[in-house]
Amino acid sequence: MIQVLGIAWDEIIRFAFVFVRIGIIFAAVPFFSAEIVPRRITATIAFVLGLVLMPVVPPSPVRIEDINAIYVIFVLLHEFLIGLCLGLAINVIFAGVQIAGQLAGFQMGFAIANVIDPMTGVNAPITSNFLYIVAFLLFLTLDGHYILIKALVESFSVVPIGDILPREGYSYAVVIYSARMFVIALKIAAPIIGVLLLVNITFALTARAMPQMNVFLMSFPLIISVGLFFMAIVVKMMPLLFSGILKDAWEFMRACLRLF
């Protein structure tokens, strides 16, 4: 009976660390970390996913006799860094999309028309919210959630529970990949920003050539119309762009796991 209870406690401890890794990932990825999603629902989904993944998780060398405060802190830090690596790979994509929406909205004159983003709970232009929703739908359409689950399953094989902390290149890789949010933002917003810059230059030259024309009032509807037209073009191009971004995110996850 004592041996049965000992085996049960070992499985419970293994599940606890699996649940911590999954919970940290869910706390970092979009939608599950949103303000409108109750934490109980996120915890329940992470709990169920942990039960589903338990049969594929390799046996852990952790035993109930080895548990102490220092070891628990060490393992929790280890699981936190892995969850941060996987969650950051997805969160950077949506952060870049939000920055792109803010840049486009500022050029179109929507910077003053901010609304509360239900996902992040912060003020953002309506263009930012629109692109965020489009990006989330593309993420599901292109099987981005499967990529995240696949990376999560592979992480337990590459980096077992309670393994060593990451090597020196981990921090550098995370910082370099985090900077990609600005690259993603520029790739998405570049057509809108470039065209509106040319429109503003045209109006500036017109104002110099014909001072009697009220260019200021004429520019608002034209800039908004041109901006919305090219935003539709950007949305049309986003599936091709997103496929490459998700591929880069998958490569970052695998490279980051190899640093442990």
- Mean per-residue pLDDT for 47-52? 85
231 domain-assigned: yes
Predicted pLDDT of residue 184: 92
Q: Is residue 164 included in any domain, yes or no?
A: yes
Q: Residue 247: which residues within 8 A CB-CB, separation 6 or more?
A: none
Neighbouring residues of 131: CB distance < 8 A, sequence distance ≥ 6: 97, 98, 100, 101, 104, 188, 235
pLDDT value at position 162?
Answer: 65
Rounded to whole angstroms, how far apart are CA atoms 240 and 210? 43
Which tokens sit at 248?
A: 């880069």
* Residue where the block lists tokens 């965020």: 132
pLDDT digits (tens, 9 = 90+) for 220-256: 788 888 888 998 999 998 988 888 888 888 888 888 8
Residue 2 has pLDDT above 60, yes or no: no
The reported pLDDT for the residue numbered 213 is 72
pLDDT attached to residue 91: 87
* Predicted structure pTM score: 0.81
- Supply the range of the domain harboring residue 118: 74-257
CA proximity to 95, closest of 179, 191, 174: 179
Over residues 53-76, the pLDDT tens digits come to 888 777 666 666 666 777 777 777
Whether residue 149 lies inside any domain: the answer is yes
Q: Report the chain's terminal Cα–Cα distance, integer Å.
A: 38
- Position 1 confidence tier, pLDDT thresholds 50, 70, 90: very low
Rounded Cα distance between 169 and 162, Å, is: 20
In a domain, 52, yes or no: no
Q: Is residue 216 part of a domain?
A: yes
5 pLDDT higher than 60: no
**Residue 170 falls inside a structural domain:** yes
Cα–Cα distance list, 87 to 23, 69, 83, 151, 237 (Å) = 10, 26, 6, 10, 25
Cα 89 to Cα 251: distance, rounded to the nearest angstrom = 9
Q: What is the pLDDT of residues 136-183, one digit of tens each?
A: 888 888 888 888 888 888 888 887 776 667 777 778 888 888 888 899
Q: Indicate whether 97 pLDDT > 80.
A: yes
87/66: higher pLDDT: 87
Please compute Rg for the chain using Cα positions.
Answer: 24
On whether residue 80 sits in a domain, the answer given is yes
23 near 152, Cβ under 8 Å? no
Bridge partners of residue 123, in order along the sequence: 116
In terms of pLDDT, which residue wins out, 207 or 163? Answer: 207
Counted domains in the chain: 1
Tokens encoding 136: 């989330």
Q: Is the pLDDT assigned to residue 7 strictly greater than 70?
A: no
Residue-level length of the chain: 260
Mean pLDDT estimate for the chain:
80
Q: Among positive and negative, which fits the CA dihedral 221, 222, 227, 229?
A: positive
55: Cα separation from own chain's centroid: 28
At 179-199, the pLDDT tens digits run: 888 999 999 999 999 898 888
Q: What is the pLDDT confidence band of residue 113, given thresholds at 50, 70 and 90?
A: low
Residue 202 lies in a domain: yes
